[in-house]
């Protein structure tokens, strides 16, 4: 359904619920979701959403993923306080990837770093390019 | 192996080839790769890489994905001229997502739009928020 928008002009639209229902969720019922800090443009992390997580995120304005390891909804920050407030939600041309523009509270990464993408290719090495904002053992204390 | 970097300090590193060999490619041998324009910060697209595409991208400095629909390497721009020059390549904390900082030549999207993420949630609609830079039927003409 979302491919209809490929040839649409700016401002043209499709109905939300039917479009979401028709997205090409994978065999596990999931779509990848990229979280980007809305003002700095920094890409923070990538996680997964099922239909329910996507619905909740849009309805509440607080980002909810689906945790594949825990096999349940994962309201980002529920144990770490690393909440992501949703600023805007985008779908790509074929609807198989979600882009979340967020306002991230604290670091996004479980290591305490601002972004999960702190490993960079440098010659023949994979080098750490960022230190934690918060020691990871302090993220889960309250 | 890449999890070793979770507690490493800035500047510490792992050997490239062994790290790439140990990445958690999915059952199809793929990892998701996000392409971000290096200077504007715009997220352009998401596609997939196998081990070979990742190796070629690092070796040549030109982004090469794996096309799931065509089941072969996809050197971005080979038919469209929409080449992505690699500026930096990052891996996330658990090594299951790649972030490509690129210099995109022309639009990234097959619709002729700068980014694939041109569908935005607006109330009860999914609205097109961007027009093509180039009419899509001209992308493949030389």
Give dist(CA A138, CA A118) in Å, integer: 19
CB contact under 8 A, B128 and A13: yes
Contact of B17 with chain A, judged by CB distance below 8 Å, is answered with yes
CA-CA-CA-CA torsion for B49, A22, A93, A35, nearest 10 degrees?
Answer: -60
- Statement: the pTM of the whole predicted model exceeds 0.95: yes
Give dist(CA A108, CA A76) in Å, integer: 9
Place of tokens 């109330």: B123
In degrees and rounded to multiples of 5, residue B123 shows phi and psi of 60, -125
Per-residue pLDDT reduced to its tens digit, A72-87: 999 999 988 899 999 9
Contact of A89 with chain B, judged by CB distance below 8 Å, is answered with yes
In whole angstroms, how far apart are CA B51 and each of A73, B78, B133? 31, 20, 33
**Number of helices followed by number of strands (H, E) in chain B:** 3, 9
CA-CA-CA-CA torsion for B138, B118, A33, B39, nearest 10 degrees?
Answer: 80
SS3 assignment, position B44: strand
How far is CA A96 from its chain centroid?
A: 13
Taking residues A3-20, report their average pLDDT: 97
Q: For residue B142, name the pLDDT band (cuts at 50, 70, 90).
A: very low
Give dist(CA A15, CA A132) in Å, integer: 42
Give dist(CA B42, CA B73) in Å, integer: 25
Terminal Cα-to-Cα distance of chain A (whole angstroms):
45
CB contact under 8 A, A126 and B2: yes
Per-residue pLDDT reduced to its tens digit, A59-117: 999 999 999 999 999 999 998 889 999 999 999 999 999 999 999 999 999 999 999 99
CB contact under 8 A, A119 and B92: yes
pLDDT higher at A140 or A18:
A18
ipTM entry: 0.96
Residue B54: pLDDT over 90 = yes
Strands B119-122, B125-128: pairing kind? antiparallel
Residue A141: pLDDT over 60 = no
Q: What is the 3-state secondary structure (H, E, C) of chain A?
A: CHHHHHHCCCCCEEEHHHHHHCCCCCCCCCEEEEEEECCCCCEEEEEEECHHHHHHHHHHCECEEEECCCCEEEECCCCCCCCEEEEEEEECCCCCCEEEEEEECCCCCCCCCCCCCCEEEECCEEEECCCCCCCHHHHCCC
Contact of B60 with chain A, judged by CB distance below 8 Å, is answered with no
Neighbours of B142 (CB within 10 A): 4
- A38 neighbourhood in chain B, CB within 8 Å: none
Beta-bridge partners for B45: B35
Per-residue burial over A37-54, b if 16 or more Cβ lie within 10 Å, else e, is bbeeebbbbbbbbbeebb
């Amino acid at each position: 359904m979302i491919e209809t928008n490929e040839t649409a002009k700016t401002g043209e639209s499709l109905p939300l619920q039917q479009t979401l229902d028709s997205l090409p969720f994978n065999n596990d019922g999931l779509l990848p979701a990229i979280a980007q800090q809305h003002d700095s443009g920094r890409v923070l992390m990538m996680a997964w959403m099922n239909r329910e997580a996507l619905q909740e995120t849009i309805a509440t304005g607080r980002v909810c993923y689906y945790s594949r390891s825990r096999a349940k909804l994962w309201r980002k920050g529920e144990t770490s306080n690393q909440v992501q407030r949703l600023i805007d939600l985008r779908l790509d041309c074929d609807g198989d990837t979600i882009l979340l523009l967020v306002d991230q509270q604290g670091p996004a990464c479980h290591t305490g770093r601002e972004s999960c993408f702190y490993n960079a290719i440098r010659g023949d090495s994979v080098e750490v390019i960022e230190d934690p904002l918060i020691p990871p053992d302090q993220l889960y204390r309250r």
